[in-house]
Amino acid sequence: MTDIERVGVIGCGLMGAGIAEVCARAGLPVTVVERDAQAARSGRLRVTRSLDRAAAHGRIDAGAREAAAALITVTDQLEALHDRDLVVEAVAEDERLKLDVFTRLDPVVTGEHTVLATNTSSIPVIRLATATSRPERVVGVHFFNPVPVLRLVELVPSLLTSPTTTARAQTFVTGTLGKEVVRTRDKAGFVVNALLVPYLLAAVRMVESGSASVEDIDRGMVLGCAHPLGPLALTDLIGLDTTRAIAESLYTEFREPQYAPPPLLSRMVEAGLLGRKSGRGFHTYDER
């Protein structure tokens, strides 16, 4: 187990809600902060629906579902995080937004040993850590969507993260949450996205050039390579806006053509075709 007993999460979208859920299912009280009261209500509903699905599919029983729900508080007050042992930032993959969160969080969390974590999937952790007065206690803890289902977490210490912070974060992820950790250096994209995103972008370029249809590209990778999802369906699941943001972060750091977002991806984001979250991306989804 770990000395982390009270958890805070900033952001209650898909990732934040998932992180809050797995922490509550591990028996920890969780305070989630959203930008306003309406977003807090929506976030609470997102967590509740996910717990309902888990119970309906037999992954947890009714008692565990009720216990987890009772441990989660969703608010729009950042000050509610003042007594947390661990705070995980899980807002949108936008560097300016994340920097603002860490700048505002720094004076709020007063605990001498509180770990500040970011769920960023591509932004170098050191950039966020230096927005605080305690960069030695900032670490990357990157979960994967859907958080309650996927077991992997990338652990990303920056050049200034203390060994104690890294060890506490790893013990929490493995001992308390029961997930698997891979450690990676603090480089844009880390391990998974540095490998995955060029593959997704290559599929987008195939559509853009007319080499093959969306359906045939996805079918080819599912049937030919035994992938559970084709690359374009996976891009829809991740979100086209998130995929573009990760690609831009990778391209900014490495300046390699394979990381450059294709024009088609950018046009679709500008049109609001974001994938599953908007009901339409490379595929169309039932709003239900």
For the question of residue 283 being annotated catalytic, the response is no
- Alpha carbons 257 and 260: distance in angstroms, whole number: 5
* Nearest of 127, 190, 196, 101 to residue 153 by alpha carbon: 190
User: Do 140 and 154 form a contact (C-beta atoms < 8 A)?
Assistant: yes
Selecting among 158, 193, 248, 249, the annotated active-site residue is 193
Selecting among 21, 142, 248, 249, the annotated active-site residue is 142
For the question of residue 193 being annotated catalytic, the response is yes
Selecting among 34, 89, 93, 154, the annotated active-site residue is 154
**Count of CB atoms within 10 A of residue 228's CB?**
8
For the question of residue 278 being annotated catalytic, the response is no
For the question of residue 145 being annotated catalytic, the response is no
- Alpha carbons 74 and 150: distance in angstroms, whole number: 23
User: Do 81 and 38 form a contact (C-beta atoms < 8 A)?
Assistant: no
Beta bridge partners of 215: none
Selecting among 50, 93, 119, 121, the annotated active-site residue is 121
Secondary structure element (H or E) that encloses residue 245, with its range? helix 240-254
- Active-site residue list: 121, 142, 154, 193
